[in-house]
A and B are shown apart, each in its own frame.
Chain A
């Protein structure tokens, strides 16, 4: 069962003696439902990774970094988890995120999606969905609303969208919330 897009899985392992980009490794690419599950069942669950590690699933040709031309003007819907949620929620939310991506859950706005990242951090893990144009309000909001619904977050929970350009200059603010 062919996917709409080919997706690349990346793994980041923090080693401060090396440059950031040297810690980023392409694991594999998948373009069928069957290959996606073969990949998923062969890698560690996100909750089993050590702190400082990331997984990223991005469309083929887009590197999981702000600097990529397809990310440069974009941003991310960010889900921040509390420390205790690593064992109760992280793996389920990350899998739902992956299924939204490969299943093209955002209808026509799926073309705005670049990928998703899970950051494993001592302070609290994070999951984000990256889109390519932070100024494209209609797409960003549609993706945010559908994503929140797929994660099963309560209507009281608020998730925010941040432009990478703001994050890069540390002037972090929510450009949109749903």
Chain B
């Protein structure tokens, strides 16, 4: 399916540490 993301979902990732 089409990958649509709303702003709240996207903002949740803003300060998440990158996975290593």
CA distance A40 to B3 in the complex (A): 20
Q: Would A33 and B7 be within 8 Å (CB), given that A1-B13, A38-B18 are in contact? A: no
Q: State the Cβ distance, A102 to closest chain B Cβ, in Å.
A: 7
- Please name all residues of chain B whose beta carbon is closer than 8 Å to the beta carbon of A80 when the two chains form the complex: none
- Please name all residues of chain A whose beta carbon is closer than 8 Å to the beta carbon of B15 when the two chains form the complex: 37
CA distance A37 to B10 in the complex (A): 9
> How would you classify the secondary structure of chain A's contact residues: helix, strand, loop or mixed?
helix
In contact, A34 and B18 (Cβ under 8 angstroms): yes
By the criterion of a CB under 8 Å from any partner CB, how many residues of chain B are at the interface?
Answer: 15
Q: Would A107 and B4 be within 8 Å (CB), given that A34-B18, A37-B14, A38-B18 are in contact? A: yes
Interface residues of B in 1-20 (CB under 8 A from A): 2-7, 9-11, 13-16, 18-19
In contact, B10 and A99 (Cβ under 8 angstroms): yes
CA distance A41 to B16 in the complex (A): 11
- Please name all residues of chain B whose beta carbon is closer than 8 Å to the beta carbon of A1 when the two chains form the complex: 3, 5, 13
In contact, A103 and B14 (Cβ under 8 angstroms): no
Contact of B3 among A2, A36, A96, A150 (CB under 8 A): A2
CA distance A118 to B3 in the complex (A): 25
Contact of B16 among A3, A37, A104 (CB under 8 A): A37
Q: State the Cβ distance, A5 to closest chain B Cβ, in Å.
A: 9
CA distance A99 to B4 in the complex (A): 10
- Please name all residues of chain B whose beta carbon is closer than 8 Å to the beta carbon of A167 when the two chains form the complex: none
**Per-residue 0/1 for A99-120: is the Cβ within 8 Å of any B Cβ (1 yes, 0 no)?**
1101111010010000000000
CA distance A107 to B2 in the complex (A): 9
- Please name all residues of chain B whose beta carbon is closer than 8 Å to the beta carbon of A40 when the two chains form the complex: 14
Q: Would A3 and B3 be within 8 Å (CB), given that A34-B18, A38-B18 are in contact? A: yes
